Structure 1
Amino acid sequence: MTRLPCRNSLRTCTLLCTLLFTLFAGKTPAQTDSPLPKLSKQNTLVLEPEKFVSLGAWQKEGGFIRATGKRGSVAFTGFNVPESGDYHVWTLAPDFPKNGPATRRFLLKIDGVGGRESGQHRQEGWRWEKVLTLRLEAGDHLAEIEDAGLNWARCDAVILTSTALDPNSRAAKGGNTAFRSRFIARLVQPERIYEGAHAAEALPPPPADAGRDLAAPLYLKNGDITLVFRTVRAADGSPRIWREISLPGNAGKMTAGLEPLFVLHSEKNPRRTLLADDYFAMWKPAVTTRWRIGARVIEPEGDPKDPWTAGVLRRLAPVSVRRVSERAVALVYRETNPVPAAVAGSKTLARPLEATLTWTLPEHGHATRLDAVFTAPETAWYSLAFAAGPSPGPAEISAVQLPPLFQFHRLPEAPMMLMSVETPHPLAVVESRVGTKKTADETAVLVTHGVVAARDATLIPENNAAGGGSAGSPGPSPKWFGRDNSACGFSLTAPDGGTQPVLFTPIMGFEDSQVAKSASLRRSWWVITAPGPWASAMREADLSIFANRDYREPVSVSLTEQAFNLMDLLGDETAAGWDARLKGPLNIESVKTATHAAPLAYLSAANLTRDEDFYARRVLPTVEFLLTRPSTHFGLKNTSYVRENEAGLDFERRPYSSAVWQGVDVLLGEGANPWLARDYAFPGGDIRKVTRSPSRAPEWSDLLALYRHAPTPELLAKIRADADAWIARRFSAAAETRPVGAGPFYNAGNFYPPWWDLPDLYELTRDQRYLDAAMRGAELTIAGLWTHPSPPSPAELVRIHPGGKIANNYHVWFLPDGTVGRLGFPKKPGAKLGDWQSAVLSIPEKTVPAWTVSPVGLGLEQPITFVRNAGASGSYHNILLSVWAANLLRVAAYSNDDYIRAFARNTLIGRGGSYPGYYIADYSDLLQNPAYPRTGPEINTFYWHHIPVHLAMVLDYLFTDAEMRTGGAVSFPYAKQQGYAWFSARIYGGKPGRVFDDTNCRPWLDKTRQRFRVETRMVDYIGARSRDKFHLVLLNQSRSAVSAPVFVAAGEFGRSARLRTAETDMKQAFNADGRATISLPKNGWAVLTFDAAPDTGRFASPPRPLPDSAAPQTHPLPDPWGQLRAFRIRSPFGKDALYFAFSGKIPPGSKAELLLGGNTAAAVDRAPYELSVYPYDQDETAAFRIRLTTADGRQNTTQTFKLPAR
């Protein structure tokens, strides 16, 4: 498994994140020689601040907490002292003498007593500081950590000891994590005191018989749900509206109860802020909060992330209901609590607040629309909040979903809000169990309650990106998702700390939250109560509220043509960032570092296009990289991506898994290089033992590769057993309770299981359990794909590049020449890696169909990079690398699910003319130009090592689409590229497949377009060649029927073909120029089969295998050359390659020469020391010697070694 550095640190490149990267690398402080006193859990206590329940504005960063520069920021907890004594208090904090020494300070207080501020020891890195000595009696005590320096302080741990312990000592191992774990104190976590508007109203249970209510109940019903609004008595006898819900089937009747409307307000701007590296909005808290710790009550400032303290909170109870129409009722909400003390002196705000909510139930579905009207009593900032449905207890909750951060049973550790632009699906839902099991065969019924934004009400109205105009009348220029344009927010925490889906609108502090006196604040949202799991509710919201649909079609090129353009780009000597010396595409985040994230894509491209030149220039160097590089990242010196021990050739460490090596074997011609499968893919007949990230690929994925190589019933049984255990473990909501945080990749296995191989297992077994599990995985993937603003209609137009420019903030990265910048941007003097560059780029304004630039269907990389890449004021960043698309397409086909199929298409179709870049943060059509990655301007970030990944993604979708549409009539064997991030794709071009009854067809893509082509961007195509047949597969990607002009080389394939579609089987004539027009319906496909002249090309038969005696050889060499590893590599092109590599640490100026037949065939005089020869005759034994010349002139020539041909 590959090792990926922390992208968070690399993509901010501020001082803070550079330091954080250092801190994560290890926190063992400098050590002294003090002896270790006798320690016990009675006299030595360790507090780990990241375990505190209340962190205020402090944030968890791995194993420590980090301040955010907010005044009054306090993290606190209670802890128990087992025995009385005089305690010395130590804190572990960093300092940086060369960069703001003693400025990252915090103050630790014990029972309100503070000592010396921490973080001013003036030594580099982490160190323990003794900050306080005080008497503590046995019992519970209070610890508080205050941000004193307001400069990103960190606290890793606190030690209290009544001994002479110096935690910096070597005897104490520098107070490292292992040492501290022996003395962890028992925390007495604080308990929040909820009162006033935060506390639920105590309501007597309503009578079972609605006839005893204060008024007759009102009903809203359709065929899917019934809502009952009962008028019941409060404790004082006044009326309250109590809601009940009935669903058909086993779910029966449920109680939503008393659902208040909350109003937050502030007479001063609450100054909503969002830190550059945080996913949650923050405010200056308007109120303090009260906490009980044992017998002590403290009243710190509210948590800046808590949306319930962003203003003065008012609770409005539903007090009356009236019918508006058959489908709607109106409820009046009025404040019945005492007026908060904070507004007691106000003539206007001190009066009870009132609002009206109209509930409208459509004719179908489980969602109800709420339209709120609130009249502001005073000019101020306001926000409405609504918590829907019951508040289930922990045992009743089976799952939650507030994408992208909260899923399974992961609940927020404190109240926090996700803004609507930050969530792919603007909703929050809680899935709970209703009822209990009555028999062993019964299960509790699942019901999902939630809140959902209104359609096209996720952005502040003037920024609504869906606001296209009609044909000929373009709508306003839209604004991409950003820090300042969310119209609503979501939480899973009710004001009393319970778990409930909550919607806030508008967001306090945003421009639309300021309301003038007597003006009306009007907002709309939906509540949903649906039977079944959370995914069913999400699906209903996507379809019925956001009108999600399959809305895309090709914009500039077909997928086939995009693949050709990507292949041409990969072969470009400059535009694709290829480094011939390092043998790979450069990584823009690390100086002179090559990264292979999808090496099999190069092999696939050469085979599919039968391009020997590409094979020689790209495939062979890629294979050589795999054979001798110790990591997926390679450079000649230590960098942020390359460790010191990885900056050289290594014959033993192989980071790629068995799946990748099995692909190399197949794509070079299965069995043509027997040593590949025997020694590299499956040493000892088993899968490779690599450093594996379980989150990115389970071990049984490699077992599937072994099965593709050598299938046996016993192996399949083991794969199934391992997969069954993995599914039970990884899809268990009960096992996933801790929030992941905003840092990890969303689609790389941290937030949900990497389910990419489950369709493969389903295809092998046809066991429905594997398709069901793949469906669950697909739903979690879809939860990370954007559904808003709703897809525009085909006729809507929109202006892009308003004013003839694009203005945004951009990171600058390494260019191929080692300088820092972006393609097509003006150079920024003195720019450093990761700096921000604010740029205004001249790009012509134009009007385009709004759907072509819609973000609906796109995903994200990491939640943190989605927001962090915006810099101080720029746009948030979706991504264009949707490698999951083909997997979604397979699941959709096997389950006949148009909802999933729409996401598969929307995430990929019409998203670029070649390589469109990685991040996308603006409405632009620049990426549709095939020349864009060569000319720029680089508004989407060109990651060169992602280009082969993008190619693999496009080809996987193309071949998957052909197989799924034809029901398997067109099908080709595959290898699997996986292990790097979420980049798991099927790779084609290694083995022949089938087209209907022709079972020995090799897939073929004619990049020259001279043998066959389809002359419309709306139709994708794949060729396939068997000995005497040629097949051309056509796939309509348009939203409507299309006529596809087709060209074939008539002299080679003839002028008559058999045309097969889903409905027809007939003859199709071509004219003398080899042209015909084929009609395809929407979603249609066709296969043209020609009787062709016998294929005598190199791909007509598999290559002859090398003998076992031609396996790689290892020979010891004199210092400093290390070992020589010699390879003979057989290719599908009828020729061999020779490759020689040296493992030693060889001084500059040394020279190695390859002698073949007495002549120098190749030479190298700088690192990396390696030699390559291609082509080499497949029938000729390679007898070679190596002449070695050291930098000081010493020369050695090896004996003759042989790599036989037969």
Structure 2
Amino acid sequence: MSTQAQVRISADQQYMDIKGYKFSPSFTVLYNAADPAMALKPAGIKKVEYNVLTWKVTDSTKADFIQKKINASVAGDGFDDRILRGKSEWRTANIFHAGESTAIKATRLEQKGDTVFFRFPANANFELKAYLLTNINPFPVLRYTFAPLKAGYYSIGYTGAPSILPEKATAIWQPLIWQEKRIPDAAYLTPAFMATLPTTMVFDGTNTIGVLVSPEHIPFQPLPMLPNSQFGISLLNEAKALQPSVYAPIPGGYLSNMKKGDSFSFSMQLVVTPQDINHTYQQIAQQIFGFKDYRRNDIASLNTALDNMVDYAMTDYAWFIDSLKGCAYSTDVPGAVKNVSSLNPLELALVRDDKAMFEKRAYPLMEFMLSREKFLFSLDSTQKIQSPSRKLKGPVAPLSELTALYNVFGRENDFYLQMMQKEFKNDRVRNLDVKEKGDNWINAMHLYKATGDKAYLQTAVTKANQYLKQRAYQQQTSFNDPFSGSFFFWPTFTDRWIELSQLYELTNDTAYLKAAVEGARNYTMFTWMVPAIPDSMITVNKGGKAPMYWYLKSKGHQQMYYPEEQAPAWRLSETGLTPESSGTSTGHRAIFMANYAPWMLRLGYYAKDTFLINVAKAAVIGRYRNFPGYHINTERTTAYEKVDFPLHKHKEQSVNSFHYNHILPMASMLLDYLVTDVFVRSKGKISFPAEYIEGYAYLQSKMYGMRKGTFNDEKDVQLWMPSRLLTIDNTELNYISGRTADKLLLAFTNQSNKPVTANVTINKELVNVKKNTFSITVPANGINTIVIPNTPVPNTFQQKILAVTNDKSKDYAKLEKGHAHAMLFKLGSYSKRLYIYLEDDDTKWSKVTLHYNNTTVEDVAYPFEFTVPVQGAVTFSLSLYDKEGRVQESEKATLGNK
């Protein structure tokens, strides 16, 4: 059926019938004589951090917005005090209270060919003309022109879409946070720059309806922000019914100040489509805004970016504070360190056969994750921002991380298992102030992975099935998911699709796959699908200056300089990336930390869902040569692409913020993408087993390198990807590499839509091979593999640390004095280490001395902890000195084989 056939004019010429839904020729004009002082304010939604548009009002009966009081812990990068802590005044967040309201409806509709003209009654304050183009696919287009007859601030709302009672709706969507059946509590107006697609939607179980702003009103340049937002979108009407609406301009916003003789024109599309909301999202993204597989490597392969990123992580620029065993977190919390997981550097050390990465990053973080109370650690007891801890009351490591560590080291460290079982029975606050419940289906699943005990798997399945009933099979009507705690980062807004995908992989139960795919598709609605990407070059870094992020400028950071140049628009686009979170979405437009991408890529393969696959690729490919910092936030620039972009001191970085604890998780994300891409393109024939890096927030990845996998017909292949193993003369090829006792196995993936033939050189310093160059051709968006025989690799760090020694000796002791915990790390055949930390701090002790095997070590500053290498058994004790110099001796303990 043609679009025109789907639009009928009612016999009385009072409404348009689109596929059986009545669209009225009704508009609402809002007028303010003076600037209504549009401003974003914290919404005050329980358990949700989110900012909404508000306006000043002079009538107290319309002052329905109550300003939320913001805790001192809410501060740092992304939190704008101008929004959070502005003065309290009479304001409304309801769009229908944002000005003097005039409802106007066409008195008749006239159809001439493929155009329907609206005839409006005369009005003393303005003239309105509108028409509907019925022959445009996939949706008819409504255009209007508005001309004021007196000066003031205007907003014209199309308010004629079908109105549906909340109880009649199956699902709704208003960006950014209202999804499933979480209906807004007010008629909030989402400004253009906060809409991942410029529409709100209602699904009635048969069709999704919406009013979609046409692409020309959200241009690619300049970068969308509040001052240039041309419109807002709303879902709730004054009667509290669901009615998608568009208001343009925003009251008090861009172009809203008009005078007699001005003219304002606008265009939108009337959506009725027979599918649910996340499939409608896909349809609009693809058919209206041109979303597709649009990226390629272009500037560098993902392997090159990974190598550069890992190199950067080991420099002083990456600001790892050895004494605190952590990454500096000064962008948000001066003097603090914050770590995500020990598994990121451990994975990189294993897969890349990198001893320095293990010693300098992985091992210190292992100690940190077992000893600290929270991810954010600060010695300053007065620091309140983001609620850090200075306590050594670990493990902060989630149960899944303890599982991974237990499995990586051959299940020889029993203390990990003891910690897991203890954590399963308890709740813990690890990040910010969010309490996590220990006894849940996800942790039961990880305990099964650690022990092989089918009782844990049955517990996981039973609890997960209950979770499906309560969470996945019911559209959520409020923000009260117990798995989410508070709602801030995007994973809290959807079901636990990443963990559900893992349970599917364990059980092959398609119920978990289906729920995971639905969660992932809902997650795509947090990814940008606008603006549409023009086929043009964009001039960036004008005058040789890179954009300067206002937050860093306010902190005294220095201007950065990069040459003025042109770059293709597609390379600069945020499409496929998400804002950081609900609470910081007003400032952090698009973050490069796209850990969801490998998970979506894999789920897309399992479910044959090309939209998930394309979103995943859009998030990662062709964006950087090195660590790109955190976000796209001010102007379009190529600064993030430069290989030297992160190689500056902290105060010399001003394009975007640097969270140094993100560097290694991002490297893990790239490795996960590389391995998953090969898995998908090989249709599962090249597959490597994985542990789970849970971290916190959105920083989840698969962890590779601890167990051998398959490579087509080859079994027992060890993933082995040392730095700069290959040199390839075409940037479009990514690769992964593995080895057996005498073979090197390589898989190449082509990220472009054209076949690629490339020359490859193997690094002879890493592989003893007679002929180290060859040519390979990889099909467009395809894969090709090669196996090189007779390439033995000498006994390396990777082999030593993964060696199983069958050492089951005692590895944990607790000393009552100082509340000290002692652990013996058994690190394959590579090393054994005694690690001791005290819960007691410097309010009780001035120094602590460790005595072990006729050796003495002293620690004179908190945190009190010791790391010493050992061979066989180790007997040790502590001497603890109080503030007055008096000493107390602990009992002795022995760990390890005698």
Name the TM tier (shorter chain). 0.7 to 0.9
Alignment match, 1:318: 106
Decide whether the 8 Å contact of 2:31 with 2:100 is kept in 1: yes
| 1:923 has 2:645 as partner | no
Distance 1:281 1:499, change over 3 A: same
Alignment match, 1:461: none
Distance 1:1183 1:309, change over 3 A: closer
Match of residue 742, structure 2, among 1009, 1028, 1034: 1028
Whole-Å Cα distance in 1 between the matches of residues 487 and 644 of structure 2?
Answer: 30
Shift of 1:704: 2.1
| 1:358 has 2:132 as partner | yes
Decide whether the 8 Å contact of 2:300 with 2:625 is kept in 1: yes
Match of residue 279, structure 1, among 51, 66, 69: 51
- Map 1:354-503 onto structure 2 (within 5 A): 354-363=128-137, 365=138, 367-433=139-205, 446-458=206-218, 464-465=219-220, 478-503=221-246
| 1:603 has 2:346 as partner | yes
Decide whether the 8 Å contact of 2:182 with 2:476 is kept in 1: no
Whole-Å Cα distance in 1 between the matches of residues 386 and 34 of structure 2?
Answer: 52
Q: Deviations over 1:789-812 (max 9, x none)?
A: 11233xx10011223334555335
Distance 1:258 1:649, change over 3 A: closer
Decide whether the 8 Å contact of 2:738 with 2:744 is kept in 1: yes
Distance 1:385 1:607, change over 3 A: same
Decide whether the 8 Å contact of 1:1033 with 1:1085 is kept in 2: yes
| 1:852 has 2:571 as partner | yes
Shift of 1:641: 5.8
Whole-Å Cα distance in 2 between the matches of residues 780 and 585 of structure 1?
Answer: 33
Alignment match, 2:646: 933
Q: Deviations over 1:1005-1048 (max 9, x none)?
A: 111x2x44434432222111122322112122234322233222
Shift of 1:454: 0.6
Q: Secondary structure at the match of 1:701?
A: helix
Alignment match, 2:531: 789
Distance 1:766 1:644, change over 3 A: closer
- Map 1:603-752 onto structure 2 (within 5 A): 603-640=346-383, 646-650=389-393, 653-667=394-408, 669-676=409-416, 678-683=417-422, 690-691=428-429, 699-711=440-452, 714-731=455-472, 734-737=475-478, 746-752=488-494
Shift of 1:266: 4.3
Distance 1:1000 1:230, change over 3 A: same
- Map 1:36-75 onto structure 2 (within 5 A): none
Alignment match, 2:693: 977
Distance 1:690 1:372, change over 3 A: same
Distance 1:642 1:878, change over 3 A: closer
- Map 1:1027-1066 onto structure 2 (within 5 A): 1027-1049=741-763
Decide whether the 8 Å contact of 2:237 with 2:243 is kept in 1: yes
Distance 1:495 1:1143, change over 3 A: closer
Decide whether the 8 Å contact of 2:62 with 2:92 is kept in 1: no
Whole-Å Cα distance in 2 between the matches of residues 414 and 1150 of structure 1?
Answer: 57
Q: Secondary structure at the match of 1:491?
A: strand
| 1:1003 has 2:708 as partner | no
Q: Secondary structure at the match of 1:425?
A: coil
Whole-Å Cα distance in 2 between the matches of residues 846 and 621 of structure 1?
Answer: 42
Match of residue 118, structure 2, among 292, 315, 332: 332
Between 1:1020-1029 and 1:1043-1052, the stretch displaced more is 1043-1052
Alignment match, 2:95: 307
Whole-Å Cα distance in 2 between the matches of residues 432 and 966 of structure 1?
Answer: 40
Distance 1:271 1:1093, change over 3 A: closer
- Matched AA of 1:680: M
Decide whether the 8 Å contact of 2:109 with 2:118 is kept in 1: yes
Between 1:528-537 and 1:313-322, the stretch displaced more is 313-322
Identical amino acids, percent of aligned pairs: 22
Q: Secondary structure at the match of 2:15?
A: strand
Shift of 1:1115: 3.1
| 1:908 has 2:620 as partner | yes
- Map 1:759-770 onto structure 2 (within 5 A): 759-770=501-512
Decide whether the 8 Å contact of 1:388 with 1:451 is kept in 2: no
- Matched AA of 1:315: A
Q: Which has the higher contact order (CA 8 A, sep 6+)?
A: 2
Task: State the TM-score, normalizing by the size of structure 2.
Answer: 0.87
- Map 1:772-1171 onto structure 2 (within 5 A): 772-793=514-535, 796-806=536-546, 808-812=548-552, 821=555, 825-826=557-558, 841-867=560-586, 869=587, 877-921=589-633, 922-935=635-648, 936-1007=652-723, 1009=724, 1011-1049=725-763, 1073-1095=771-793, 1097-1098=795-796, 1099-1100=798-799, 1102-1105=802-805, 1107-1117=807-817, 1122-1132=818-828, 1134-1146=830-842, 1150-1155=846-851, 1157-1160=853-856, 1162-1171=857-866
- Matched AA of 1:881: M
Decide whether the 8 Å contact of 2:4 with 2:134 is kept in 1: no
Whole-Å Cα distance in 1 between the matches of residues 251 and 369 of structure 2?
Answer: 53
Distance 1:380 1:624, change over 3 A: closer
Task: State the TM-score, normalizing by the size of structure 1.
Answer: 0.66
Shift of 1:1107: 3.5
Whole-Å Cα distance in 1 between the matches of residues 735 and 567 of structure 2?
Answer: 27
Distance 1:744 1:360, change over 3 A: farther
Distance 1:223 1:498, change over 3 A: closer
Structure number with higher helix proportion: 2
Decide whether the 8 Å contact of 2:541 with 2:638 is kept in 1: no
Alignment match, 1:178: none
Whole-Å Cα distance in 1 between the matches of residues 525 and 336 of structure 2?
Answer: 34
* Gaps in structure 1 of 5+ consecutive residues: 1-220, 233-239, 247-253, 293-300, 340-347, 434-445, 459-463, 466-477, 814-819, 827-839, 870-875, 1056-1071
Distance 1:1165 1:707, change over 3 A: same
Decide whether the 8 Å contact of 2:821 with 2:838 is kept in 1: yes
Q: Secondary structure at the match of 2:207?
A: strand
Whole-Å Cα distance in 2 between the matches of residues 981 and 1116 of structure 1?
Answer: 35
Decide whether the 8 Å contact of 2:107 with 2:121 is kept in 1: no
CA RMSD of superposed structures (Å): 3.4
Whole-Å Cα distance in 1 between the matches of residues 39 and 762 of structure 2?
Answer: 61
Decide whether the 8 Å contact of 2:128 with 2:144 is kept in 1: no
Q: Deviations over 1:911-938 (max 9, x none)?
A: 3222211232131111112322222533
Q: Deviations over 1:264-311 (max 9, x none)?
A: 34454444344589733333448786999xxxxxxxx99632322334
Q: Secondary structure at the match of 2:167?
A: coil
Decide whether the 8 Å contact of 2:552 with 2:654 is kept in 1: no
Alignment match, 2:28: 262
* Gaps in structure 2 of 5+ consecutive residues: 44-49, 65-88
Q: How many correspondences in the alignment? A: 856
Whole-Å Cα distance in 1 between the matches of residues 397 and 448 of structure 2?
Answer: 18
Q: Deviations over 1:478-514 (max 9, x none)?
A: 3222221111110012354432000112223334234
Decide whether the 8 Å contact of 1:286 with 1:312 is kept in 2: no
Decide whether the 8 Å contact of 1:427 with 1:453 is kept in 2: yes
Whole-Å Cα distance in 1 between the matches of residues 109 and 248 of structure 2?
Answer: 23
Decide whether the 8 Å contact of 1:858 with 1:907 is kept in 2: yes
Distance 1:1197 1:930, change over 3 A: farther
Shift of 1:1004: 1.2
- Matched AA of 2:526: G
- Matched AA of 2:377: F
Alignment match, 1:38: none
Distance 1:309 1:1139, change over 3 A: closer
Whole-Å Cα distance in 1 between the matches of residues 141 and 40 of structure 2?
Answer: 30
Whole-Å Cα distance in 1 between the matches of residues 60 and 377 of structure 2?
Answer: 53
Q: Deviations over 1:869-926 (max 9, x none)?
A: 4xxxxxx633221111111111211222222222111122223222211232131111
Whole-Å Cα distance in 2 between the matches of residues 991 and 884 of structure 1?
Answer: 23
Match of residue 535, structure 1, among 278, 282, 288: 278
Distance 1:617 1:368, change over 3 A: same
Decide whether the 8 Å contact of 1:448 with 1:537 is kept in 2: yes
